[in-house]
Structure 1
C-alpha cells in the first residue's frame, strides 16, 4: 500500500510538470520564433518480488514478479518544426525558412534565435530592439580596385547599416561598347576633308549616311560628369575609324598598348581603327602604332582636367576577337553605342534591402547599389539539444553540437526572408487535447492516493 501511495505521488508530480509545459506552450502561442515543447514519461525502477526461473525437464520457466514504483519524466523535448511566416512589411524583420538560427551577441556571449524582429539603432548597428543584442554577420570591405565585397569566411562581427552615409564619387574605369555598324554603307573617300567626313556621318538621309555618332557620360575622380562623344565612319571594306572627344578635358589621348598618355608616339592621338571579318565579327583594334588581334580588344583613354595635373584614364571595351559580344558589322541599322560605364558621382544612402542570402544592399541617391553586410545563420547537429536562455534565445549545450555558422542557403541552412516573421509552431488543438489527457491523468493519480489511504485506514481499524 505504501508503494501505491508513492506511485500516485510521482504521477501527480509528473503530470503537474506536464501541465506546466502545456501552460507555457499556450502562453507563447503568439511569440515569434517560439518552439513548442512536449513531456514524455517513463516508468520508474521496479521492485523485484521474485526472479524469473529457467525451464527444466519437469516444469516450465516462470516470469519475474516485479512491482513498479511510479513514473519519471523521460524528457522535455523541443519540437523544432517550421512555424508559419507572417508578413509584416518591415524590411528589417527577418524570418528563416528552413534550418538555422540568427546569431546575436551580448559582449562576449553568443546566442541563437529564430525571432527576427530586428531594427537599426542610432549608431547604425543592426540589433534586437527588445534587448539591444547585436545581430552578427560580415560587413563589406574594399578590394584593391575600390570595389566592395563581403568575405563570409571571415570572423563574425556586429552588422552595421550606415543609413544616410556618403558613397564617394568613383571615376569611370571601364566603358563597354555593343551592337552594330551597318556593313551596307559606302566608305568615306580617302581624300575626303573634315567637312566631308562630318557631312557623311551626320547626313539626315539614312541612305546617304556613311557613319554613326554616339555619346555617353563618364565621371572623373571628383564625380564631375563629362560627355564622351564617339564618331564612327567607314574607311574601307571591313575597316572603320573611331574618333573620340571628351568634354572639358585636355590632352585627350587614346592608346591601344595601355600606356595612356605616356607613350609620346601616340600622345594626342584621338582615333582608332577597328577591323572586322567578312562575316561581321571584330578582329582587331589599332591606334596607328600598336594593335590587338586576340582576346579582349580594348583601348585606354587618358585625359587631364583643369586644376589636376595627374592624368586620369579609363578603358574602352570593344569586344572579344572573333566573337559578337561587342561591336559587330552586319548589314543592319546602326545601333552601336556605349552601353555601360562604371563611374558615378557622390551619393547618400537612402534605403536598403535584404535578399534571401541575407545580403544587405544599400541604395544610394546616385543610383548606385552597394553590398553593405551579410547576415549569418547557424545550424546545429541537434538543435533540440540547445539550452533556452530567455528572450526566445538559445545557447549551445554539450548535446547540441557546435554551431556551424555560414551564409544562408548553404550547407543545409535555410533562406532568409525580409519583411516577414516566423510565428510560434504551437498547435492549440494539440495543446488542449494534451491538457485534457493530463488533467485526467492527474485525477487518476489522486484517486490512487485516496484509495490507498482508505486501505491503510481499514488496516488500522482491524484492532478496535
Structure 2
C-alpha cells in the first residue's frame, strides 16, 4: 500500500518535470534557432516478491513476481530538427540550412548557437548584439594581389572595415577580343578623309594611373597595303595630349620604339604573329602581349628629370585561337577591349555573405574584395551539448569536440544570408503533449488519493 503512494509521488514529480519542459518549449516558440526539448520516461527498479522457476519433469516453469516502485526521467533530449527559414532582408542575419553551429567567443571561452541574428559593433566586429559574443571565422589575406582565405588556420574575430579605403590601382593589363573585317578597304596613298575613316577601325578604353586618374587608351587598326592578312595598329594614351604622354609599344620593351605594331593573321583568320616598329617578332605559340608605356602627368620625375612612365600589357589573345582573341573574318569589325584591371580609390560601402559564408566587400569604385569567411562547428553527438543560456551551447563530455570548418563541407550545412532559422517547436504537438501530461499528473494524484483511502480504511479497523 505504501509502495503505491511513492509510485504516485514519482509520477507526480516526473510529470511535473515533463510539464516544465513543455512550458519551456512553448515559451520559446518564437525564439530564433531554438531547439525543442523532449522528456523520455522509464520505469524505476522493481521489488521482487518471488523469483522465476525453471520447468521440471513434473511442472512447468514459473515467472517472477515483481512490483514496480514507480517511474523516473530517462532523458531530456534536445531535438535538432531543421526549423523553418524566415526571410528578414537584413544582410547580417544568417540561417543555417542543415547541420552545424555558429562559433562564438566570449574571451577565450567558446559557445555554439543556431541563432544567426548578428550585427556589427562600433569597431566593425561581427557579433551577437544580444550578448556581445564575437562571431568566429577567418579573415582574408592578400597573396599576389588576390584576397585568399585559409580555412585551415585557427578561427578569429571577423571584422568588417566599413568605410575603409581601397587604394587606387594602376592599369597593368588590358585584354582585347575583337574581329577585324577582312573586306575592309585598303587605305592608299592620297586617300580622302572619308576613305581613311571607312578603312580604319578603332577602340577606346578607360585606364587608370597610379594616382587613380582616368586616361583614355585608343587603339586603331588599318589594313596594310599589299598584304591581305596584315593590319597596322596605332596606340595612343590621351590622344589629345599625345605630345606629352609619348605612348610607346613593343615586344618585351618600350624603350626607343614607336607606338605602332603589325598584326598578322593566317589563312583561317586566326592570330598568327605580331611585329613591333623596331622589327621584333613575337612568339609563334601561346599568348601575344604588347608592352605599352606612357608618361604620367604631375608625377615625380626620375634622376634625369623625365616624368614617371607607367607600363601596362595589351593582351591580343592566343595564337591560333578564336576565343577572347583578335581575329580577321569577313564580317563586321567589332574592335573592342573587354577588360582592364585598374581603378580609382574607393570606400567600403556594403558587404554581402554567400552560401559558403564568404564575406565580400563592395567598394564605391566598383571593386569587390573578399573580407573573410564564417566558420561552422559540428559534433559527433550534438544532443550531448549542454545549454549555456542566451540560446547557446557548450561542449560536454559526451558531445565530442567541435569540428570546425567551412560550410557545405564534411556534413556541415549551407548558409543563407538575409534570413533566420525559426524555432522548431510545433505548438499543436506541444498542446497535445500538455493534455497527455496533465492527464498523467491527474492519474498519479488519484493513485495517491486512493492509497490514502485504503490507509484510512485500515486505520478504522480498530474502532
Instruction: Please give the range of the TM-score, normalised by the shorter of the 2 chains.
Output: over 0.9
Query: Residue deviations 1:15-45, cap 9 Å, x none?
Result: 0100000000000011111011110001111
Matches within 5 A, 1:219-230: 219-230=208-219
Map of 1:132 onto structure 2: 132
1:239 to 218, 224, 230: 230
Map of 1:93 onto structure 2: 93
2:260 to 271, 293, 314: 271
Map of 2:426 onto structure 1: 427
1:254 to 239, 249, 252: 249
Q: Is the 8 A contact 1:285 1:293 kept in 2?
A: no
Matches within 5 A, 1:297-312: 297-306=288-297, 307-308=299-300, 309=302, 310-312=308-310
Q: How far did 1:133 drift? A: 0.9
Q: How far did 1:240 drift? A: 1.6
TM-score, scaled to structure 1: 0.92
Q: Is the 8 A contact 1:379 1:404 kept in 2?
A: yes
Matches within 5 A, 1:51-66: 51-66=51-66
Q: How far did 1:156 drift? A: 0.9
Q: How far did 1:199 drift? A: 6.1
Q: Is the 8 A contact 2:170 2:211 kept in 1?
A: yes
Residues of 2 paired with 1:409 and 1:432: CA distance?
36
Residues of 1 paired with 2:250 and 2:380: CA distance?
59
Map of 1:319 onto structure 2: 317
Deviates more, 1:169-178 or 1:366-375: 366-375
TM-score, scaled to structure 2: 0.92
Matches within 5 A, 1:62-461: 62-144=62-144, 146-189=145-188, 192=189, 200-202=195-197, 209-235=198-224, 236-247=227-238, 250-257=245-252, 260-261=253-254, 264=255, 267-287=256-276, 288-306=279-297, 307-308=299-300, 309=302, 310-325=308-323, 326-461=325-460
Residues of 1 paired with 2:385 and 2:83: CA distance?
18
Q: How far did 1:82 drift? A: 1.0
Q: How far did 1:230 drift? A: 0.5
Query: Residue deviations 1:223-263, cap 9 Å, x none?
Result: 11111110111222222222111125645332323xx44xx
Q: Is the 8 A contact 1:188 1:197 kept in 2?
A: no
Q: How far did 1:198 drift? A: 7.3
Q: Is the 8 A contact 1:201 1:212 kept in 2?
A: no
Residues of 1 paired with 2:269 and 2:410: CA distance?
47
Q: 3-state DSSP class of the match of 1:215? A: strand
Segments of 5+ residues of structure 2 without an aligned counterpart are 303-307
Query: Residue deviations 1:300-327, cap 9 Å, x none?
Result: 2133324233543221111111111111
Instruction: Number of aligned residue pairs: give it.
Output: 447
Residues of 2 paired with 1:107 and 1:311: CA distance?
51
Deviates more, 1:433-442 or 1:364-373: 364-373
Shift in alpha-carbon separation, 1:254–1:61, aligned structure 2, 3 A: same
Query: Residue deviations 1:247-296, cap 9 Å, x none?
Result: 25645332323xx44xx5xx233222222221111122232214122112
Q: 3-state DSSP class of the match of 2:205? A: strand
Q: Is the 8 A contact 1:256 1:292 kept in 2?
A: no
Shift in alpha-carbon separation, 1:198–1:165, aligned structure 2, 3 A: farther
Q: Is the 8 A contact 1:201 1:232 kept in 2?
A: no
Q: 3-state DSSP class of the match of 2:280? A: coil
Query: Residue deviations 1:149-197, cap 9 Å, x none?
Result: 22222221111111111110011121110121111223445xx47xx59
Residues of 1 paired with 2:457 and 2:356: CA distance?
73
Q: 3-state DSSP class of the match of 1:291? A: coil
Segments of 5+ residues of structure 1 without an aligned counterpart are 203-208
Residues of 2 paired with 1:388 and 1:201: CA distance?
80
Shift in alpha-carbon separation, 1:72–1:51, aligned structure 2, 3 A: same
Residues of 1 paired with 2:125 and 2:30: CA distance?
27
Residues of 2 paired with 1:404 and 1:273: CA distance?
60
Shift in alpha-carbon separation, 1:274–1:393, aligned structure 2, 3 A: same
Residues of 2 paired with 1:72 and 1:280: CA distance?
86
Q: Is the 8 A contact 1:51 1:65 kept in 2?
A: yes
